[in-house]
């Protein structure tokens, strides 16, 4: 099957870099691109013209929310109220429970994956909150999500999240980590079982990876076991680390080393490692405020970082700085980490924050950020056939419409999209040659149903925070509105 997709703007790839083409097309046979350019007179079996749009490589989200978003609730509170969002010590010891049924967990993941498709994500690595689970994720949950992902046509790098500990608010009011080693052992066994399951599926759109939870929630045995399994199976590991002062202090108190040193100590700091956020290296102002070698150490290891600019900003954080990490030679990929899974807004946020950090309007590296969302993600996944539109690459692409009056006038199509638009302007998404979204719609998906179901599941999650709060406050007390609600 030979398919031709045409657009006013095409982001092709030539001589090692993205290039813009005007009034061009992409032609692919089955799942592989055969031609990118302006003049094609070969045979075709099907064609589509997306018109005044930007056709570009499918976006790669390596910290993609596959859950009901909690940032809507917990990104506003000060320190004292924020304590109520942690598990209480009593809840950990005596009252742990799953908020959702297995069927609801499956619905949550389907809701989230539909959102990824609609926002132009073609390749993803999932992240789910464990706060409303009895512990973490199970083999059965991820096997079910793999089937949902395959049905929708996404390219997923999947594995159950696992941990041996959880962040807890102790009875004295301080934050710590409490451990249940048996849960860590069970979760790790499920992670290895899922790798076997993926191998048996033999589906190129489903790849198995190791997705342990935050570094401070893994004991030494689990960290070393993860490193060994990654090496033995040659699979990627994504581990949230270098992302906060509390994490840093907990690691130093327990092991006498920094989180980066711990990654090296246990054998994880190598080219198979992906680190979401990585905002707290030694050059961070809250640590030392100067580079004492962390960036060089990251670069030499071959590890990739997953920068999530929009989510970091919403929690009051920032990568200091995109330019410094890039100049050090660190591979940078992008993630969304929260709702919306909008890498267009993420890129724009990162570009504007870079200007502020540098005090220089020229520091907004648009091309660098677009590269991170495409080529950087592909490099982290060790997939040179992703993240680019060129002959021989996988036929993964997305088109963002630029033809709405509300989009304003146009100059450079990428800058126009970033400044005036969002990823909600995605009108076409193709993964491995299969069109999974056309004209902003997914065949067989009832968005009205999923809107109602998503709200129902969110409301249930919100109410359940009271169960874990040490002070047993109601959800309305934990999450007060911007203005007081009144009845008249």
* 428 burial type by CB count under 10 A (0-12 exposed, 13-18 middle, 19+ buried): buried
pLDDT of 487 above 90: no
Average pLDDT score over residue span 197-225: 98
Q: What percent of the chain has pLDDT over 90?
A: 97
Q: What percent of the chain has pLDDT over 70?
A: 100
State residue 84's pLDDT score: 93
Query: Per mean pLDDT, which range of 27-36, 72-81, 96-105 is the poorest?
Result: 72-81
pLDDT of 58 above 90: yes
User: Using 50, 70 and 90 to split pLDDT, how confident is the model at 208?
Assistant: very high
3-state class (DSSP) for residue 270: coil
Average pLDDT score over residue span 178-200: 97
Spatial neighbors of 487 by CB under 8 A, at least 6 apart, are: none
3-state class (DSSP) for residue 314: helix
pLDDT of 79 above 90: no
Residue keyed to tokens 């719609």: 441
* 414 burial type by CB count under 10 A (0-12 exposed, 13-18 middle, 19+ buried): buried
Query: Mean pLDDT, the chain, as a whole number?
Result: 97
Running DSSP on this structure, what letter comes out for residue 229?
H
State residue 488's pLDDT score: 83
Domains of the chain by range and CATH? Answer: 1-57+387-445 (2.30.40.10), 59-386 (3.20.20.140)
pLDDT by residue (tens digit) across 324-345?
A: 999 999 999 999 999 999 999 9
The dihedral through the CA atoms of 470, 474, 476, 477 has a sign that is negative
Average pLDDT score over residue span 102-119: 98
Longest CA–CA separation in the chain, Å: 74
pLDDT of 4 above 90: yes
In the chain, count H helices and then E strands: 18, 21
* CA pair distance 177, 257, nearest whole angstrom: 17
* 393 burial type by CB count under 10 A (0-12 exposed, 13-18 middle, 19+ buried): buried
The dihedral through the CA atoms of 10, 13, 17, 21 has a sign that is negative
User: Using 50, 70 and 90 to split pLDDT, how confident is the model at 130?
Assistant: confident
pLDDT by residue (tens digit) across 288-307?
A: 999 899 999 999 999 999 99
Residue 47: phi and psi, rounded to 5, are -150, 155
State residue 385's pLDDT score: 98
Specify whether the CB–CB gap between 1 and 30 falls below 8 A.
Answer: yes
pLDDT by residue (tens digit) across 415-473?
A: 999 999 999 999 999 999 999 999 999 999 999 999 999 999 999 999 999 999 999 99
3-state class (DSSP) for residue 452: helix
């Amino acid at each position: 099957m030979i398919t031709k997709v045409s657009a006013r703007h095409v982001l092709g790839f030539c001589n090692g870099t993205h290039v813009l083409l005007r009034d061009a097309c992409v032609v692919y046979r089955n799942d592989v691109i055969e031609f990118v350019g302006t003049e094609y007179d070969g045979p075709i079996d099907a064609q589509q013209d997306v018109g005044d749009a930007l056709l570009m490589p499918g976006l790669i989200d390596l910290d993609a929310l596959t859950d009901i978003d909690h940032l809507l609730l917990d990104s506003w509170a000060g320190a004292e109220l924020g304590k109520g969002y942690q598990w209480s010590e009593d809840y950990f010891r005596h009252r742990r429970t799953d908020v959702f049924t297995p069927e609801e967990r499956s619905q949550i993941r389907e809701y989230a994956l539909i959102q990824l498709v609609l926002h132009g994500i073609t390749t993803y690595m999932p992240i789910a909150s464990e706060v409303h689970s009895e512990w973490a994720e199970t083999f059965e949950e991820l096997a079910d999500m793999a089937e949902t992902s395959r049905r929708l046509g996404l390219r997923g790098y999947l594995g159950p999240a696992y941990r041996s500990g959880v962040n807890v608010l102790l009875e004295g009011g301080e934050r710590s980590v409490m451990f249940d080693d048996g849960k860590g052992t069970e979760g790790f066994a499920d992670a290895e079982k899922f790798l076997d399951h993926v191998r048996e599926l033999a589906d190129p759109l489903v790849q198995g990876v190791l997705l342990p939870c935050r570094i401070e929630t893994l004991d030494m045995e689990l960290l070393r076991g993860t490193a060994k399994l990654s090496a033995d199976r040659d699979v990627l590991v994504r581990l949230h680390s270098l992302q906060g002062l509390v994490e840093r202090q907990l690691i130093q108190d327990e092991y006498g080393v920094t989180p980066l040193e711990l990654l090296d100590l246990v054998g994880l700091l190598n080219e198979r490692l992906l680190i979401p956020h990585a905002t707290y290296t030694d050059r961070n102002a809250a640590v030392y405020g100067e580079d004492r070698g962390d960036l060089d150490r990251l670069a030499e290891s071959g590890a990739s970082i997953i920068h999530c600019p929009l989510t970091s900003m919403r929690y009051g954080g920032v990568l200091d700085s995109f330019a410094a990490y890039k100049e050090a030679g660190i591979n940078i990929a992008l993630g969304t980490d929260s709702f919306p899974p909008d890498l267009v807004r993420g890129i724009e946020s990162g570009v504007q924050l870079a200007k502020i950090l540098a005090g220089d309007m020229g520091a907004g590296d648009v091309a660098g950020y677009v590269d991170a969302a495409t080529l950087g993600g592909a490099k982290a996944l060790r997939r040179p056939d992703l993240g680019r539109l060129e002959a021989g690459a996988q036929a993964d692409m997305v088109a963002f419409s630029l033809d709405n009056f509300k989009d304003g006038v146009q100059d450079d199509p990428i800058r126009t999209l970033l400044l005036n638009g969002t990823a909600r302007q995605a009108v076409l998404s193709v993964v491995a040659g299969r069109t999974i979204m056309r004209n902003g719609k997914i065949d067989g998906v009832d968005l009205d149903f999923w809107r109602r179901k998503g709200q129902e599941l969110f409301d249930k999650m919100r109410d359940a925070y009271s169960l874990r709060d040490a002070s047993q406050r109601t959800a309305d007390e934990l999450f007060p509105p911007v203005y007081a609600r009144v009845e008249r």
